[in-house]
Amino acid sequence: MTTEVRVRVHANYVQTSIHFQLGAYAYETYASGDREFLEAVWQHQNAETLREWAKNYVQKKESREVPDFNGYLYVEFVFPKMGDLNVVEPTNIRYVTLKGIKVLTKVFSGQFRLPLLQRLTETIGTYDAAKIEALLKTLAAGV
């Protein structure tokens, strides 16, 4: 089983989805717009406990807003090993603004990818546009 996490940040919402590929034709996807759902990704030791937690947690909730966020942020990463959520592969991290697109995926390719992804998701979880944009600017300097 592989586990893929997608985080979308926009001025009017933050949406986290967790996709569990259970087999060739079987999968489960859970999504929510609240901070606790985003933080839960890092609080579980394996995909199975994360899956059970998500299954029990997901309810119909409204997504939170980041009103002053200028642009659109895509954050996608995969946990390829079911038993170890410390092994993570960033697959798509892009920040889109009127000035263009910054592809930040390479910034997350080194040995510090896990703490960088944790920092990014924690910052997104603040719903503070200035903090998110400041971190993105810092990350973009490393591209």
Question: Is the pTM of the predicted complex or chain greater than 0.75?
Answer: no
Domain residue extents for the chain: 1-143
Distances (CA, A) of 108 to 40, 82, 93: 20, 21, 9
- With contact defined as beta carbons under 8 Å apart, do 106 and 46 qualify? no
Q: What is the pLDDT along the chain (143 residues), one digit of tens a residue?
A: 788 888 887 767 788 888 888 887 778 888 888 888 888 888 888 888 888 888 888 854 555 678 788 888 989 888 887 678 788 888 899 999 888 999 999 998 888 888 999 999 899 989 899 999 999 999 998 76
